[in-house]
Structure 1
Amino acid sequence: MTSPMSKRSLLKLAGWATLATSAALVGCGKKEAAAPEAASGASEAASAAAAPAGPLKIAFAYVGPVGDAGWTYAHNAGRLAIEKEFGDKVKTTFVEKVPEGPEAERVIRDLVGQGNTLIFGTTFGYMEPMLKVAADSKDVKFEHATGYKTAPNMRTYDSRTYEGAYMAGVIAGGMSKSGVIGVVGSIPIPEVIRNINTFTLGAQSVNPKIKTKVVWVNAWFDPPKETEGAQSLLNQGADVLFQNTDSPAVLQTAEKAGKYAFGWDSDMTQFGPKAHLASAIINWAPYYVKATKDALEGTWQTGGVWWGVKEGAIDIVSISDKVPADLKAKVETVKAGLKDGSFVIWKGPILGQDGKEVVAKDAVADDKFLGGINFYVKGVDGAVPSGK
């Protein structure tokens, strides 16, 4: 797993070596020692239920470092928005750089054991671990980003990142001179494939002959691999780069090469001001404030939420002065249409790579279709990695 979020000065990534250190539990900006792992799910739930009255304890599990300048940075900005909105009614903590898989389950159980009763897991790979812990911790409310499985005490939430990808694509289609644009992909799951396709559709709305090349790095945050992927795309003739990865490495690579690129998840302008065309951002604050309010007022319930431009969760910001006025106007028209519902991105006819319709003329793809995309649209080169 878009009103723009308030901007802080982005953290410098010269300290990537420091960011690679082991994950530390942080509360309100201060590091704390992690509590021992609870003995069992039942005792964890009892511990949470027996906690003395006080602030609502909220915890976040992050897949990357808070200084990634992208995905995790954006989630952490949402956490800070909770603190600003609710003050001493809440106490928030987070654990960064939590791997997807068994380690995630251990960390989430620790967070329950520490008395947190609202827990956010911010990456797709936490879905199964959170379900396990939720089953053992009935008095705790769990929120899972980008997933699709729920439980009585676990709901899902996501942002329509593909809307930001489409608006970036509109700019890319008008700015590319070679007719070739490139995407550095992270993990080949439907969410990421959907963003690649939608970026391409946006570019084709300006230049129908545009071609998109893709390099997969099989990681959400790996600056060296992201750099290599970006350079590979440049070597293949791409002159505008996009990404679904979490660091500014792609933008920085384009800057060094004298090409163009975009920021992703947050405003990355400062990392490559000459290359930067715009940033497609996520503002998690509206949803995090709503979820916290639900928990505080006793109105929280399970289900699923998928917010976009309409709800203030997705936007494209800091569009460069290098972008012509007509392209800017087209982006603003698209944004206005997404906000009021008059514009739909995935409306047919849309063709797959083989030229066959995947969305029929005048048909509109529903959320179920969008959530299961495992193919490339016409204009994207290569094949979706096998097994995805």
Structure 2
Amino acid sequence: MKKILSLLVVLTLIFAMTGCSSKPDEPEKAADKPAEPSQAEAEATQTAPEDMTVGFIYVGPIGDGGYTYAHDQGRLYLEEKLGVKTIYKESVPETQEVEQEIRNMVDQGAKAIFTTSFGHMDYTEKMSKEFPDVAFFHCSGYKTTENMSNYFGRMYEARYLSGIVAGMKTQSNEIGYVAAFPIPEVIRGINAFTLGVQSVNPDAVVKVVWTSTWYDPAKEKEAAISLLDQGVDIIAQHQDTTGPQQAAEERGAFSIGYNTDMSTMAPKAYMTAPVWNWGPYYVAQVQNVLDGTFKSEAYWGGMKDDVVKLAPLTENAPAGAAEAVDAATAKILDGSLAVFAGPILNQAGEVAVEEGKTLTDEEMLNMMWFVKGVEGKIE
């Protein structure tokens, strides 16, 4: 009997040891899959609004009346809605200085940092790896890391609508466009604007002048003047300042702004503008950080998300423009109008988008060609 009992004990130990060592790769595979945080874990990572500091790094001054001003309005909206503390730094160039400003903000307790210019991207990516416990958000770029999102808006939708206004207003059928840099973001906007123009006025053309600046009021105004000297009667822009608007006003022309409602800057010229509405996005993302539910993503919201929209038309807009814009807006919102749906011809008159096809997000994000009707080169 003792021998039997001893044998049973030995067998039990063998089975126990076998069970502990069988298929050792299975637990490792399971460990590779990140587990969803439990409610207790999520609650443990929550932060009270009064303990949250959020940093913003701007490429221009908050008083530019355009791009940086729009972001700063979003910051103020964030403060109002969530009660968090925000800090910001104006006029940070697209250089290594971004890294130092990020370090300064982390030292001040920032747990979320938004960098707002395309050229801030690589520096933000580097810092996100240095500070893994901080949530980073980069505007207009394409890179992400485990704790860094990128975000932008489908401004081309509002650009198309503003093109309708310009196409209905022009008498010379020549519209000027003051453009910043020849990158997909800017090219996509020029093309969308031109398609909007041609949807109501197939004979109109859009003349492009590059400034190689984001924020240089004098240079951007000079570029607009050069276009006005060529006979354009409307000025549109992809710039951070109101310089082009002021040039149009001084020369008795009309204008389409950008970034914010620029009606007070050129009341006799300005008709409307594609504008940013960053506040709701900032609130949603910071709330995620507060709740401990932040996850890195690539965000590209559109008019349906209220991130981009067309500013109210002024009395300078042509008769019938409001109705035409409203009709096109409804179609964009219900999905029946895609700005880059074929057939679309390129600048050389060749088919770039076939009938029945629509450009993918990837194709739009990498756009480096002009549609027919654009006069200018991608330099």
TM-score, normalised on structure 2?
0.86
Distance (whole Å) between structure 2 residues aligned to residue 255 and residue 324 of structure 1: 17
Given candidates 362, 370, 376, the residue that maps to 2:356 is: 362
Distance (whole Å) between structure 2 residues aligned to residue 53 and residue 289 of structure 1: 12
Q: Could you list the per-position Cα deviations for residues 285-319 of structure 1 after superposition, in whole angstroms to 9, with x for gaps in the alignment? A: 11001101111111110111111110111111231
Q: Contact 1:57–1:116 at 8 Å: present in 2 too?
A: yes
User: Kindly tell me: are residues 53 and 382 of structure 1, through their superposed partners in 2, closer, same or farther at Cα, counting changes over 3 Å?
Assistant: closer
How far off is 1:53 after superposition?
A: 9.9
- For 1:260-339, what aligned pairs fall within 5 Å after superposition? 260-339=254-333
Distance (whole Å) between structure 1 residues aligned to residue 333 and residue 89 of structure 2: 34
Distance (whole Å) between structure 2 residues aligned to residue 290 and residue 337 of structure 1: 27
- For 1:104-143, what aligned pairs fall within 5 Å after superposition? 104-143=98-137
Q: Contact 1:166–1:198 at 8 Å: present in 2 too?
A: yes
Q: Contact 1:176–1:239 at 8 Å: present in 2 too?
A: yes
Distance (whole Å) between structure 2 residues aligned to residue 342 and residue 325 of structure 1: 25
Task: Give the structure 1 partner of residue 52 of structure 2.
Answer: 56
- For 1:64-83, what aligned pairs fall within 5 Å after superposition? 64-83=60-79
CA-based RMSD of the aligned residues comes to 1.6
Task: Give the structure 2 partner of residue 199 of structure 1.
Answer: 193
Distance (whole Å) between structure 2 residues aligned to residue 68 and residue 295 of structure 1: 29
Q: Contact 1:269–1:318 at 8 Å: present in 2 too?
A: no
Q: How many percent of aligned residue pairs carry the same amino acid?
A: 42
Given candidates 221, 230, 235, the residue that maps to 2:215 is: 221
Q: Which runs of 5+ in 1 are unaligned?
A: 1-48
Distance (whole Å) between structure 2 residues aligned to residue 348 and residue 201 of structure 1: 11
Distance (whole Å) between structure 1 residues aligned to residue 334 and residue 352 of structure 2: 26
Q: Equivalent residue of 1:63, what SS?
A: coil
TM-score, normalised on structure 1?
0.84
Distance (whole Å) between structure 2 residues aligned to residue 350 and residue 258 of structure 1: 33
Q: Contact 1:227–1:253 at 8 Å: present in 2 too?
A: yes
Equivalences, count: 334
> Is 1:250 aligned to residue 244 of structure 2?
yes
Q: Equivalent residue of 2:280, what SS?
A: helix
Q: Could you list the per-position Cα deviations for residues 144-200 of structure 1 after superposition, in whole angstroms to 9, with x for gaps in the alignment? A: 001111000001110111112111100111111111101100121110111111111
Q: Contact 1:142–1:153 at 8 Å: present in 2 too?
A: yes
Distance (whole Å) between structure 1 residues aligned to residue 305 and residue 167 of structure 2: 26
> Is 1:183 aligned to residue 177 of structure 2?
yes
Q: Could you list the per-position Cα deviations for residues 100-121 of structure 1 after superposition, in whole angstroms to 9, with x for gaps in the alignment? A: 0211122122222222110000
Task: Give the structure 2 partner of residue 98 of structure 1.
Answer: 92
